Structure 1
């Protein structure tokens, strides 16, 4: 199992839907989050994309030098950039980071934003273009000379002289819930992403994607993007969830849902259907809370509970086939530490940083009476034993 974190280049706060508790998300703050994720043992970070965010590629390039092993999942936008230019950018960033680049293929789901970027294609046409884009991108990134004439794109003698570190190219990640999206995933990408939905719905999407891949003689890996609200007790976790939306008004919810209604993204429609814009039906599955989606687009659900409850839900998704989880929490700096402290000992992670009590190179917890090293928490030890069992 691999755990990723999230860089909030669209803003961060202790509360959703209000300026109360908001903080400035500048380069210094993003660097703190990236370095915390790197040090804590997260596999990588996802950087969002769109007009509401800082540019993902510039953010990644500027933060990579401040980290050592952290991978960066960065978006490419078919229809917004040339596939050959995008392939060269990816090769350069992959080389300069020594193979720490991952590619998130984003077709776009907001027609208004697409129009602002000069793309006036329909939902179906965007997937047609993305299919052509990836055929060109994959060939060029793999060192081939590509000639392609299609409905949307045409290139002649397309190639790059500098290859990425990863072969044949940085892995392609992609999420989408529509039939064209599932078919595209089956044909061309490496990791299929879903947002956090009830397990039965996730199982159905995984089965559809596996079937699509099998039709093309391929296999897929699977990941999930969702928020986490974990606390020492279940009561504290649910209180934190309510506190997160405590400043959200009915008018704010109505305005947000009206904006989301213009999206032609099937995934966004599925997120909205989980809560229906109502505050009284937010636990849509055990420990799965849809409150974030009242005002936030994209991933709108969170796992809520004590460490054992949240770990159990994560393992339930893992048994369905999810290998990678991309988590986030508000505010992102503090929650990166909280999730690592409370959940890492309970999960079968592929890799984490060496425990500080084994390699004590500096203060680990405040010293007792100036010269006594604090003991390892009994609860952590018990949690670790339970996880192994």
Structure 2
């Protein structure tokens, strides 16, 4: 199993002083200042790499104070030496040709450490403002566009004369002159609950992020559901002659005892009830990674046992949680032999 770290961005983590200060600074014009969000994210990601995390996910939130994912990811790639840099992108805002070119560029700059996370989007205003009216009311059409988007990028990365005559995107055979380092192409991650979306992932993507109930009290039930869903997606991918990896997102609460962990989880639930954006940070509680260091490590090991290949983790406060995980949980996970020895420094 690999361990991933969510790059801490305003819409990803529960509000904390460092993020709030960075947002305030970013809302003001001025020269000669070090960007506070870049400084904070760079510090966090570098510490995560030192603890042995394998991947960082740079999420995208167009309507918000977050930095653009592609640009921030490039800065983080230059600040790290080993971590895979996973960049989120929305079909409908950027053309697949542009995404393929930027992806190949980042893969070369990072020495083959680039990957991509496809986010189909749920916020109409975001797609309309930044995609020039790109929101599609029909979910079926949104997934059709996602399917063409992924097909186009795969073709641009792997074919000499890529062709696609789709409803949303067209490739005329023009070759992408800049090639990625990774062969046959950088990996593509995605999450989807819809049948069309799952088919696209099974046929063209490399890793499916599993779904679960967001209630942390339902850990046992979520575990059973994830086990069934992994088996189903394996069968679905096999029909296309492919194999998939499986990932999940999780918020970690490592505490001295279960009572304190539950208290913190309830606080995060209340924070997530504020709005849809705040819910992003709270919904990852459903993985149930809360309790003592022993409990968290054992549950990570259980997820590895049922077939999870990658867990993307987030913490609050970010640095305190990351450091506690790195010093208390990581050695226990390593001792359970689910994380490769050379993945931990």
TM bucket by the smaller chain?
Answer: 0.7 to 0.9
Shift in CA distance, 105/298, structure 1 to aligned 2, threshold 3 Å:
farther
1:281-304 deviation per Cα after TM superposition (whole angstroms, max 9, x unaligned): xxxxxxxxxxx84x7476353521
Which of 330, 334, 339 is 1:344 aligned to?
A: 330
Shift in CA distance, 296/345, structure 1 to aligned 2, threshold 3 Å:
closer
Stretches of structure 1 lacking an aligned partner (at least 5 in a row): 261-291, 355-389
Distance in 2 between residues matched to 1:72 and 1:196, nearest whole Å? 25
Matched, 1:95 2:81: no
Q: Alpha carbon RMSD of aligned pairs, Å? A: 2.5
Shift in CA distance, 20/6, structure 1 to aligned 2, threshold 3 Å:
closer
Shift in CA distance, 237/191, structure 1 to aligned 2, threshold 3 Å:
same
Structure 2 equivalent of residue 241 of structure 1: 265
Pairwise CA distance, 1:44: 1.4
Pairwise CA distance, 1:316: 2.1
Which has the higher Rg, Structure 1 or Structure 2?
1
Distance in 2 between residues matched to 1:171 and 1:79, nearest whole Å? 20
Report how many residues are paired.
313
1:228-287 deviation per Cα after TM superposition (whole angstroms, max 9, x unaligned): 0012333343343345567x5xxx83x52xx58xxxxxxxxxxxxxxxxxxxxxxxxxxx
Matched, 1:36 2:47: yes
1:312-355 deviation per Cα after TM superposition (whole angstroms, max 9, x unaligned): 2222222221011000011212211111112111222123343x
Quick check: 130-139 or 221-230, which moved more?
130-139
TM-score, scaled to structure 2: 0.83
Matched, 1:49 2:49: no
Note the 1:102-117 alignment, pairs <5 A. 102-116=115-129, 117=131
Structure 2 equivalent of residue 10 of structure 1: 10
Note the 1:1-389 alignment, pairs <5 A. 1-10=1-10, 16=14, 22-24=20-22, 26-51=37-62, 52=64, 53-116=66-129, 117=131, 118-121=133-136, 122-197=138-213, 198-242=222-266, 244=268, 248=271, 253=273, 256=275, 259=276, 293=279, 296=281, 299-301=284-286, 302-347=288-333, 348-350=338-340, 351-354=342-345
Distance in 1 between residues matched to 2:41 and 2:19, nearest whole Å? 17
Pairwise CA distance, 1:115: 2.4
1:196-227 deviation per Cα after TM superposition (whole angstroms, max 9, x unaligned): 54112212322232222122111101011110
Shift in CA distance, 112/299, structure 1 to aligned 2, threshold 3 Å:
farther
TM-score, scaled to structure 1: 0.74
1:139-181 deviation per Cα after TM superposition (whole angstroms, max 9, x unaligned): 1112421121122222212321121110111111111112122
Structure 1 equivalent of residue 26 of structure 2: none
Secondary structure at 1:322's aligned position in 2?
Answer: coil
Are the equivalent residues in 1 in contact too, given 2:11–2:281 (CA < 8 A)?
A: no
Distance in 1 between residues matched to 2:82 and 2:113, nearest whole Å? 7
Secondary structure at 1:222's aligned position in 2?
Answer: strand
**Greater helix percent: which structure?**
2
1:4-59 deviation per Cα after TM superposition (whole angstroms, max 9, x unaligned): 1111222577xx47889954361111111011011111001111112233211000
Shift in CA distance, 19/42, structure 1 to aligned 2, threshold 3 Å:
closer
